[in-house]
Amino acid sequence: MAWRRWLGLEKQTLAEKRAALNGVSLFFGALIGANLGTTSQLPLADYALIVAVICLIVLYLHLAPVARRRWTNVANLLGLVGGLYLLLIHEIGAAAFEGGRPSAQIFVTICFWIASVLFIELRPLDGESPPDRTTPQAEEPDHRIGR
What digits encode the pLDDT tens for the residues 68-91?
998 999 999 999 999 999 999 998
Provide the sign of the torsion angle of the four alpha carbons 118, 85, 55, 53, taken in this order: negative
Selected residue with higher pLDDT from 46 and 146: 46
List of residues 6+ apart from 17 with CB closer than 8 A: 120, 123, 125
Phi/psi of residue 141, nearest 5 degrees: -65, 145
> What pTM was computed for the model?
0.75
Selected residue with higher pLDDT from 147 and 90: 90
**Strand, helix or coil at 53?**
helix
* 35 vs 39: CA distance, rounded Å: 7
CA-based nearest residue to 65, from 12, 104, 16, 122: 122
What digits encode the pLDDT tens for the residues 32-51?
999 888 887 888 888 899 99
What digits encode the pLDDT tens for the residues 89-141?
998 888 888 877 888 899 999 999 999 999 898 888 887 545 544 555 555 55
List of residues 6+ apart from 62 with CB closer than 8 A: 25
List of residues 6+ apart from 141 with CB closer than 8 A: none
Radius of gyration (C-alpha) of the chain in whole angstroms: 19
